[in-house]
């Protein structure tokens, strides 16, 4: 074997008897190259043995050291390759799993496993349903899951724009059916849906929105885009341009969850809007918190000055409504469990307001 590796002009005895550094180094390199090649070709651990390489000689100790180092090198190579293989196998597995998840959600969209629930938005002074918010849900066998269980995954898979466009199309489809069946709605009744600054800054998303709306009579089907604050406003000029285009078509624009995350007073000077939706944070403990009472009163005055509308989210108890009406005499729309939780399309079609006691 050695003759085969090093050439016919070498003999085993000559190799093992030599004491020159150059030939010893050549021996070591040749053996390692040979067995490294064997390892790569065979895909397994090929360990040299003394009986294969040579017969015992007086220089056996030196050769054994070469063999030991060679074995250590090959074993090290094995572990490195195993680590690399494990790393890439995990990466490939993760990519494959992500792809399966993506197709699973796309399949759910195509087979009506996503649905919309609607939560009424009420004018308590007139006792009328002024609007409702479309809220995404997902079927899971006999369960109906809220976005808490799937929205983060949808975003990680890059499907949020597709989902939002689906919601828009479904709202447009449901609107005439709601208006035809529910006789207790305000004449200016609208349905709102969530979009993000990130989506408004996406040219492909906006083009698809425009294409959908081009086939809709927006004097008959009234829509509102609620801008959620999960993503920061990065391109103010582009966002305002898009908002102006939407409003020129007749689509209302609301700032959702106002007062938390990035939605602060500074936002009121940055973008154009029709409606401010105050986050539930402001209504919690409004009966006893001076800070929250003062905040609601101040924001209400700003809204009045700009002739906009204010929606208070998260009301659950009659006392909260009572304090709010005493605190702020202006018009405030209410969205919360005080009037209704999110309900299915069929339930909303026959929904009527109950008296709050």
| 8-31 tens-digit pLDDT | 444 444 444 444 445 545 555 554
Averaged pLDDT, 52-75: 60
User: Does residue 324 or residue 34 have the better pLDDT?
Assistant: 324
| C-alpha–C-alpha distance, residues 326 and 125, integer Å | 12
Max CA-CA distance within the chain?
A: 109
- 78 pLDDT tier (thresholds 50, 70, 90): confident
Averaged pLDDT, 115-143: 94
pLDDT tens readout for residues 170-224: 999 999 999 999 888 999 999 999 999 889 989 999 999 999 999 999 999 999 9
- For residue 135, give the H/E element and its range: strand 128-140
- 80 pLDDT tier (thresholds 50, 70, 90): confident
- 93 pLDDT tier (thresholds 50, 70, 90): low
End-to-end Cα, the chain, rounded Å: 97
Residue given tokens 């250590």 in the structure block? 72
44 by Cβ neighbours in 10 Å (0-12 / 13-18 / 19+) ranks as exposed
pLDDT at position 231 is: 57
User: Quick check: pTM over 0.85?
Assistant: no
Averaged pLDDT, 324-329: 89
Long-range (24+ apart) CB contacts under 8 A made by 316-323 are 318/356, 318/357, 319/287, 320/283, 320/286, 320/287, 321/124, 321/356, 323/286, 323/287, 323/293
pLDDT at position 109 is: 80
pLDDT at position 171 is: 98
Averaged pLDDT, 141-165: 88
């Amino acid at each position: 074997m050695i003759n085969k590796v090093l050439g016919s002009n070498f003999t085993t005895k000559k190799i093992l008897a030599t004491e020159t550094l150059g030939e010893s180094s050549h021996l070591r390199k040749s053996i390692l190259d040979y067995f490294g090649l064997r390892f790569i070709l065979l895909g397994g651990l090929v360990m040299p043995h003394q009986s294969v390489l040579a017969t015992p000689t007086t220089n056996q100790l030196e050769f054994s050291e070469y063999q030991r180092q060679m074995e250590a090198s090959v074993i090290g190579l094995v572990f490195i390759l195993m680590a690399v293989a494990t790393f890439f196998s995990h990466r490939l597995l993760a990519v494959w799993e992500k792809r399966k998840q993506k197709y699973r959600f796309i399949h759910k969209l195509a087979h009506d496993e996503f649905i919309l629930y609607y939560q009424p938005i009420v004018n308590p002074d007139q006792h009328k349903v002024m609007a409702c918010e479309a809220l995404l849900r997902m079927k899971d066998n006999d369960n109906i899951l809220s976005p808490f269980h799937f929205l983060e995954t949808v975003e990680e898979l890059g499907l949020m724009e597709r989902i939002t466009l689906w919601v828009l199309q479904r709202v447009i489809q449901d609107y005439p059916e709601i208006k035809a069946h529910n006789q207790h709605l305000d004449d200016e009744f609208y349905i709102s849906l969530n979009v993000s600054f990130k989506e408004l800054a996406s040219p492909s998303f906006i083009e698809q929105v425009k294409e959908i709306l081009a086939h809709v009579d927006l004097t008959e089907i009234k829509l509102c885009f609620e801008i959620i604050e999960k993503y920061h406003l990065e391109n103010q000029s582009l966002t305002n341009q898009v908002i102006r285009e939407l409003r020129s078509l007749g689509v209302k624009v609301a700032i959702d969850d106002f007062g938390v995350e990035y939605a602060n007073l500074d936002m009121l000077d940055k973008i154009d809007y029709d409606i401010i939706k105050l986050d539930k944070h402001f209504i919690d403990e409004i009966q006893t918190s001076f800070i929250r009472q003062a905040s609601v009163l101040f924001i209400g005055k700003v809204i009045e000055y700009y002739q906009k509308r204010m929606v208070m989210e998260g009301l659950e108890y009659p006392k909260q409504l009572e304090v709010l009406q005493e605190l702020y005499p202006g018009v405030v729309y209410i969205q919360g469990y005080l009037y209704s939780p999110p309900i299915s399309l069929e339930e909303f079609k026959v929904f009527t307001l109950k008296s709050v006691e």
